[in-house]
Amino acid sequence: MSPRAWLRLYASSWIASMSSTERIRSRLGDLTVSQDSRRRPVKSTERNPGPYPYYGASGIVDYVDSFIFEGLHLLIAEDGENLRSRNTPVAFLADGQFWVNNHAHVLQGNSLSDTRYLAYAVEQLDLSGYLTGSTQPKLTKGALDSVMLDVPPLAEQQAIAEVLGALDDKIAANTALTSTTWDLMETEFRLVQSGPDHARTTLGAIASFEYGKALPASARESGDVSVIGSGGPSGFHSAALVDHPGVVVGRKGSAGSVHWVSGPHFPIDTTFYVRGNREGISQPYLYFLLRTLRLNEMNNDSAVPGLNRSEALALPVMLPAAERINNFTGKAETQIALVEVVARENRTLAATRDLLLPQLMSGKLRVREAETIASAAGA
């Protein structure tokens, strides 16, 4: 049973018995203080590198040497196709010291509202009716102020934000743990590669690049097998082309990109999937090796970026002794197993948040019951 299905089953008995709490219909402009006048765009050529996040419409786009905002603020995209596609959040929080350009509105909750609550409330809204511009969608300040929300009393807003925030905080902590684990594996790999007793060979002597297969969206069947394109995961299918975890390399599009895929998967025709063709050459070893070869710089097609298989396989590589590769593989497989456990937990946490969000916003679920469900999911 998927995390979402399990959570729906677990939560249904709670939600069915809940009655709506009091909500007041309000304009977003009446619940917030705008800080848009303090925004300042800076051309990329004029930015000085530094420790402070520089935000745009979809989040952090750079780091600079100064800041103009401090403390917790709500950022909402002002323009860009993402306002329609919603591939990334359009409402998100920024805290600490940071800079914002003129592509994101900057708000704080007033005495009637909680800034964190507003971030969740706006993000789950359909904003399409407030947008202007046929080519470049835009959410003007006036339109943003007119967005309507049904909001509970401030204390309940804060409690809702606390429940949902606990789930997001756990997801963020798990994501940081995953990043650190991959970094440690890469450090271990570099130690293996820098050791003595290396043999000079070519990539093609130890690995092969196999062509992925076409799988248009119309041909995909419902399932839990990851479909992998040159840019990474691009959906799911019922059957696998590769029946084990492994490495996929971008062939067209994001040419030369290197992806680790947990579990069976289906690499499509814009990719190569990688096989070791010598005993002891494991998938984890090949993944880290390929990341060092700068395959993304081997573009041989000016119109559509492409990776030439023959040229890639002709690249020289230094091969450590078999015992060192085996030792690395054992350590890497243990760490990858940990990463996969954390990834599964994050999927459950995200499914819990997505289930609770509309129920809490509508008042159909009380905070106390939401806390019980969130705790069961691991928050």
- Candidates 72, 77, 40; CA nearest to 57 is 77
For residues 117-146, average pLDDT: 95
Mode of pairing for the β-strands spanning 265-267 and 225-229: parallel
Cβ-contact 182, 368 below 8 angstroms: no
**304 pLDDT band (50/70/90 cuts)?**
low
Say how far apart CA 357 and CA 367 lie, in whole Å: 11
DSSP 8-state assignment for residue 22: P
pLDDT (tens digit per residue) in 239-261: 999 999 999 999 999 999 999 99
- Amino acid identity of residue 367, one-letter, is V
| Entry pTM | 0.81
Give the three-state DSSP class for 339.
helix
Per-residue pLDDT, 22: 79
Longest dimension (CA), the chain: 72
- DSSP-H helix ranges across the chain: 3-16, 82-85, 115-123, 141-146, 154-193, 203-206, 283-291, 309-313, 322-362, 367-377
**377 pLDDT band (50/70/90 cuts)?**
confident
